[in-house]
């Protein structure tokens, strides 16, 4: 395969690259805000949509709905990936943000169990699955778009802005959840307060849609359209048949990354309030400060990846997961707000390294013609296992064993798995801009 060779970026392209990166990253911010709101108000949703005498059963049901979004993410990856690899990254990104905004807004308008009975949780599941479908395409599209705009020696840094602004999206979700929990009586929160974060998705989504309509497609995608081969007619089939090893690698590192994400920054909100006894306001505040810390660390890790390579950043991340996770959870379990905040902050360090390393590495496994599909599908399959099953498994095992260190054991296991995967399947790559699929 001949890959178009792009000239060294001139000033005009650098300006366009920064604009394109900002627009793509802002969309990811909104996507992750919309997607994460559910996790931060899960305890309230359990009351609204799954009333019953056993709060653990209600929470488990709510987390099952949370996990349902991950089941359809690979389908979204195939759909939006095909759209992005055939029609352009920009077209896919416009479609995915529209889909997510509609799903989140309708969730905020959904009547509860008391109003429409069993239809309420059914509709909640369907809307949650629509959110997951959208997210399945957003990651691959935004990552490929930014990667293809950035200069080779800046790609790791620019792409790291995706997981960085995702933290800001989660931070906004956690912040609004904390504000609502602190200012509202529990009855008002259950009656209508939980809707506010979901309904904010409407103006945010419209703003992002307008921004994405004003940018052009990536130069690499435009260049490949001018080659004799052109775009892939069946990108998903091509990924499966021509790049199975690349797909396995991306799926594996995504699995570890998503366990860190959804255990370490989403499930912990429920963990603090329902397991460790903090108030919902305290729990949301701790998570908010932690994810803002992550938003600062991830670009630093991305810049480090530009210098030493994403593989080494990943190795450091996995070693750190094994080394610091149990001490960090020991601090969280002391019942002190300050120690809980410091403990989660300690756990954010391997998390930030893992985010930057994963996003920096997985884009280099595929050529331009199937990059959107390959990254989106591999990342989504890893998310099904790591993100969809992780919070539910942690909740179930804590309930069954009474051991509050279960989430720590899961994260240590993820770090060990990452060390095995990277050590055995990701070969050394001293030049971060080179293509690993070759």
pLDDT given for residue 9 in this prediction: 55
Which has more pLDDT, 337 or 216?
337
32 sits in the region (left: phi over 0; alpha: psi -120 to 50; else beta) called alpha
* Stretch among 57-71, 101-115, 393-407 having the lowest mean pLDDT: 57-71
CA 10 to CA 312: how far, in whole Å? 30
Q: How close are the terminal C-alpha atoms of the chain, in Å? A: 10
Please give the model's pTM, rounded to 2 decimal places: 0.82
CA 109 to CA 198: how far, in whole Å? 8
Dihedral of the alpha carbons of 429, 432, 433, 436, in degrees to the nearest 10:
40
Give the best-scoring range by mean pLDDT among 8-12, 164-168, 261-265, 403-407. Answer: 403-407
- Closest C-alpha among 359, 20, 9 to residue 157: 359
Read off the pLDDT of each residue in 304-328 and give the average, rounded to a whole number.
92
Paired tokens of 297:
């660390």
Paired tokens of 357:
């390393």
pLDDT given for residue 42 in this prediction: 73
Q: How confident is the model at residue 381 (pLDDT cuts 50, 70, 90)?
A: very high
* Stretch among 24-33, 158-167, 170-179, 269-278 having the lowest mean pLDDT: 170-179
DSSP 153-202: GGHHHHHHHHHHHHHHHHHHHHHHHHHHHHHS-HHHIIIIITHHHHHTHH
Paired tokens of 161:
């802005």
């Amino acid at each position: 395969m001949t890959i178009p060779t792009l000239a060294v970026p001139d000033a005009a392209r650098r300006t366009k690259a920064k604009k394109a990166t900002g627009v793509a990253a802002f969309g990811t911010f909104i996507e992750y805000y919309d997607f994460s709101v559910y996790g931060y108000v899960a305890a309230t949703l359990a009351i609204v949509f799954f009333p019953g005498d056993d709060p653990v059963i209600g929470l488990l049901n709510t987390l099952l709905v949370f996990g349902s979004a991950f089941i359809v993410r690979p389908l979204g990856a195939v759909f939006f990936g095909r759209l992005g690899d055939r029609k352009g990254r920009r077209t896919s990104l416009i479609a995915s943000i529209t889909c997510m905004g509609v799903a989140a807004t309708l969730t905020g308008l959904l009547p509860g169990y008391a109003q429409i009975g069993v239809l309420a949780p059914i509709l909640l599941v369907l809307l949650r699955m629509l959110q997951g479908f959208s997210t399945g395409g957003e990651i691959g599209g935004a990552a490929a778009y930014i990667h293809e705009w950035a200069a080779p020696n800046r790609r790791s840094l620019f792409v790291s802005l995706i997981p960085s602004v995702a933290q800001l999206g989660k931070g906004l979700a956690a912040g609004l959840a904390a504000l609502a929990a602190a200012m509202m009586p529990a009855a008002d929160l259950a009656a209508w307060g939980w809707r506010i974060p979901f309904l904010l998705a409407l103006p945010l989504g419209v703003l992002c849609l307008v921004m994405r309509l004003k940018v052009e497609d990536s130069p690499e995608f435009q260049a490949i359209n001018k080659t004799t081969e052109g775009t892939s007619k069946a990108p998903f089939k091509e990924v499966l048949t021509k790049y199975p090893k690349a797909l396995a690698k991306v799926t594996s590192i995504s699995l570890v990354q998503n366990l860190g994400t959804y255990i370490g920054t989403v499930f912990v909100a429920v963990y603090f309030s329902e397991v460790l006894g903090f108030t919902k306001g305290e729990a949301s505040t701790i998570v908010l400060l932690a994810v803002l810390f992550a938003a600062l660390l991830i670009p630093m890790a991305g810049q480090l990846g530009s210098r030493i390579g994403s593989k080494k950043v990943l190795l450091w991340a996995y070693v750190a997961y094994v080394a610091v996770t149990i001490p960090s959870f020991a601090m969280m379990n002391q019942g002190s707000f300050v120690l809980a905040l410091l403990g989660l902050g300690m756990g954010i360090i391997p998390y930030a390294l893992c985010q930057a390393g994963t996003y920096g590495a997985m884009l280099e496994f595929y050529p331009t013609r199937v990059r959107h599909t390959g990254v989106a599908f591999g990342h989504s399959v890893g998310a099904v296992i790591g993100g969809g099953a992780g919070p539910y498994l942690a909740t179930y095992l804590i309930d069954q064993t009474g051991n509050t260190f279960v989430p720590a054991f899961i994260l240590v296991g993820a770090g060990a798995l990452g060390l095995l995967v990277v050590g055995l399947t990701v070969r050394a790559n001293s030049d971060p801009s080179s293509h690993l699929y070759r």
